[in-house]
A and B are shown apart, each in its own frame.
Chain A
């Protein structure tokens, strides 16, 4: 579970294989390490995460830029507030 920069200017967080509440907890941790305006891309396979990450963003005031699912893998892009 490493948070690493790639050349797309996203910070990546892979929470695949983890169940509730870990994807949200790891997302919070990553968000706290980032500066305002930075983008975090989270991958998860937990089916609850689509609603949970959206709720996390609503509650914490971070901007959920996109949320999509493909073949059981969810991908969220969050802009840090």
Chain B
């Protein structure tokens, strides 16, 4: 049909509008069904507790069939090391609700807010807190960070390290697992622009 022949009023126009609406909806549905959702995550933290969100969301996104990329920058780089040694610090984490993962039931049920003054004066406190968190997570059937990283890779989550922070902290590419690629801000932003979900962790 020629543009000039298009109806501009009356029942002909109503019919055309009705047809268009239906067609448009169909096409949008087709488009949506063919679209693979994507997610871009920035991982900036290097402690055991904060390593969980990017790996949990990344691996789950991939399990849902999404295209997932995680950009690791600053302390997030520690999550890419061949041998991870992530620790949790109760220092500056005053809200951390820790319970004893072992011992008699009454002890396990007790809330023990982590005092902030102890870790700074007691050597090894961080190691203890880390061990307690690992034990608690294990008891609750939570995967280890190593496991989640492996599952993420298995599900084709892409790992990209920020080259600038790699240089700043004096890392070598050989410090990191082989699956990592290296890029900068200009690579991340266009990915984030197109992503359906962007998260900063």
Q: Is the CB of A25 within 8 A of B140?
A: no
A65 at the interface (CB under 8 A from B): no
Q: Is the CB of A56 within 8 A of B140?
A: no
Q: Is the CB of A59 within 8 A of B141?
A: no
Q: Is the CB of B65 within 8 A of A60?
A: yes
A62–chain B nearest beta-carbon distance, Å: 10
Number of interface residues, chain A, beta carbon within 8 A = 17
Stretch at the interface among A3-11, A15-23, A66-74: A15-23
Q: Is the CB of B140 within 8 A of A24?
A: no
Chain B residues, CB < 8 A from A18: 141, 143
Closest to B58 in A: A21
**Tier of interface size on chain B:** 10 to 19
Q: Is the CB of B140 within 8 A of A19?
A: yes
Main secondary structure of the interface of A (DSSP, over half): helix
> Within the complex, which residue of A17, A22, A45, A56 is in contact with B64, where a contact is CB–CB below 8 Å?
A56
Q: Is the CB of A24 within 8 A of B63?
A: yes
> Within the complex, which residue of B141, B143, B148, B155 is in contact with A28, where a contact is CB–CB below 8 Å?
B155
Q: Is the CB of A25 within 8 A of B155?
A: yes
Closest to B66 in A: A59
CA distance A27 to B140 in the complex (A): 19
B54–chain A nearest beta-carbon distance, Å: 12
Q: Is the CB of B141 within 8 A of A19?
A: yes
Chain B residues, CB < 8 A from A29: 154
B180 at the interface (CB under 8 A from A): no
Chain B residues, CB < 8 A from A17: 141
Closest to A60 in B: B65
Per-residue interface assignment for chain A, residues 19 to 43, with 1 indicating a CB less than 8 Å from any chain B CB and 0 otherwise: 1111011011100000000000000
B154-176 with Cβ < 8 A to chain A: 154-155
Q: Please report B residues at the A interface, Cβ cutoff 8 Å.
A: 56, 59-60, 63-65, 140-143, 148, 151, 154-155
Q: Please report A residues at the B interface, Cβ cutoff 8 Å.
A: 17-22, 24-25, 27-29, 45-46, 55-56, 59-60
